[in-house]
Structure 1
Amino acid sequence: MTPRPDLSLIRREVVYAPPADAGLDLVYVDDSLLVVNKPEGLLSVPGRGDDRQDCMVHRVQQRFPEALTVHRLDMATSGLLVFARGEAMQRALSVLFQDRQVDKRYVAVVKGLLAQDQGEIDLPLSADWPNRPRQMVCFERGKPSQTRYEVLARDLGQGETRVALTPITGRSHQLRVHMLALGHPMLGDPFYGDADSQARAPRLLLHAAALSLPHPQTGERMHWTSAPPF
């Protein structure tokens, strides 16, 4: 089993304080689906406890009561999120995600300067049970996990790299753990960052910036983009 990163510096408490509901940032809508920009700090679906019921799907359902979840983003991640309009479309869209017909691209800022301009990370991931919900690289019981990365810019003065990330698989916390495994934690990450990387940003600098899929009714390839707010 691969040694786990030292968690002794990870001390930022994760408190649920969702942003105020300012209305939906609606990117696209038709009779089959809708796409919204999820703000950072908001759960995709309800969590455990009465204090974690405010979430993206509930906010969407206030305007579109038939909307159903298809996939999720971590609470700390912002960006593009797809919802189905009705159960039939939920089934159809879920199949597209399961069959890896959906292309996703994220933008992140990480600590340090990546040596290679691009590459692929192929490291199996498993739950880090003593430190849930954290995940970890584990060659004994981890599930196959792959991420492609491409450097967008290097800030030599700050010692930071802006990187585009394309997940081939969709494991929990995959992008965050894979970048940590390269020695480059994402800035503002309360789970995987060290004290320095956490202090460099007030939020996790990870944004779902592009999403593409075949329309569940017409088969036409649809594309949506969202500029990172950092």
Structure 2
Amino acid sequence: MDTPQPTADEMLARVLHRDGLMLVIDKPAGIPVHRGPKGGPNLEASFDALRFGLPRPPALAHRLDRDTSGCLVLGRHCKATATLGLLFKHSKVDKTYWAVVEGGPAEDSGEINLPLAPRSADRGWWQKVDPAGLPSLSRWRVLGRGHGAAGEPLAWLALEPVTGRTHQLRVHCAAMGWPIVGDNIYGNGPRFGEPSLHLHAREIVVPLSKNKPPVCVTAPVPPHLQERLKACGWTGQA
């Protein structure tokens, strides 16, 4: 699923939260956050629409994979971006993802504690489970179970990456035997076409100020997840 370069109006429509320090936007699936070596559409190229009167566009405080949708945090100026970056680095930001996985765990909740390392030097961001890798912890809960159009078993999970390794949730789910639907690197997803990756950054909680409650933002479910989520019991509420 390739997403074209967002227009200014499309970017403004995707703002979920705005204050003096940060923005949270609803990232569309199918577009990288950074410009790649071959060019092409990327989210950063549309950030100028999100200045809201400031002299410079906002900057990324963290990353989401190209095919992952949902809550993406931007710092509105350099100091704010640095502060947010430290919160992410030290795992102070709570992130909850929704995923639809093939099959699914037998239990209703649990943890995945498997260290991760780069798969190989020529594979860039691709990761693998490796005893010598970096500690990586994910928590999961089953929110629903069901079957796809062909009768295949599916599960709807809430995933919380306690650590923030590259592709962590995708590798962990695949290593447990229930890869995320549409994952064309670690699972059984196609290189092109349907289904696209069923991973969505549903909620983010940012403790931005010591004197105020954390900022909690929820991203609506994108269209490409809705059919399989409904098959697993999602009622269609935003």
- Equivalent residue letter for 2:168: Q
**Pair 1:42-2:31 in alignment:** yes
> CA offsets, 1:144-197, max 9 Å, x none?
0000000011115430111010000000000000000100111111111226x8
Where structure 1 has 5 or more consecutive residues not aligned to the other structure, the ranges are 1-15
What pairs with 1:143-222 in structure 2 (closer than 5 Å)? 143-156=134-147, 157-194=151-188, 201-216=194-209, 218-222=211-215
Within 2, Cα distance between the matches of 1:36 and 1:168?
A: 22
Within 2, Cα distance between the matches of 1:17 and 1:200?
A: 10
Q: Which of the residues 118, 128, 136 maps onto 2:109? A: 118
Q: CA offset at residue 113 of structure 1? A: 3.0
- TM normalised by structure 2 equals 0.82
- Equivalent residue letter for 1:55: N
The answer (yes or no) to whether the contact 2:93–2:206 under 8 Å persists in 1 is yes
User: Which range moves more in the overlay, 84-93 or 131-140?
Assistant: 131-140
User: Which range moves more in the overlay, 109-118 or 55-64?
Assistant: 55-64
What pairs with 1:48-197 in structure 2 (closer than 5 Å)? 48-51=37-40, 54-64=41-51, 65-129=56-120, 131-140=123-132, 142-156=133-147, 157-194=151-188
Give the aligned partner of residue 33 of structure 1: 22
The answer (yes or no) to whether the contact 1:19–1:39 under 8 Å persists in 2 is no
- Equivalent residue letter for 2:195: P
Within 1, Cα distance between the matches of 2:25 and 2:35?
A: 17
User: Which range moves more in the overlay, 123-132 or 80-89?
Assistant: 123-132
Within 1, Cα distance between the matches of 2:154 and 2:39?
A: 39
- Equivalent residue letter for 1:115: A
- Helix, strand or coil for the counterpart of 1:50? coil
> CA offsets, 1:35-86, max 9 Å, x none?
10000011112221233xx322221223323301110100010000010011
The answer (yes or no) to whether the contact 1:108–1:207 under 8 Å persists in 2 is yes
Within 2, Cα distance between the matches of 1:86 and 1:193?
A: 38
Q: CA offset at residue 216 of structure 1? A: 4.5
- Helix, strand or coil for the counterpart of 1:80? strand
User: Percent same amino acid among aligned pairs?
Assistant: 35
- TM normalised by structure 1 equals 0.84
**CA RMSD, 1 decimal:** 2.1
Within 2, Cα distance between the matches of 1:193 and 1:28?
A: 33
Q: CA offset at residue 220 of structure 1? A: 3.0
Where structure 2 has 5 or more consecutive residues not aligned to the other structure, the ranges are 226-238
- Equivalent residue letter for 2:78: E
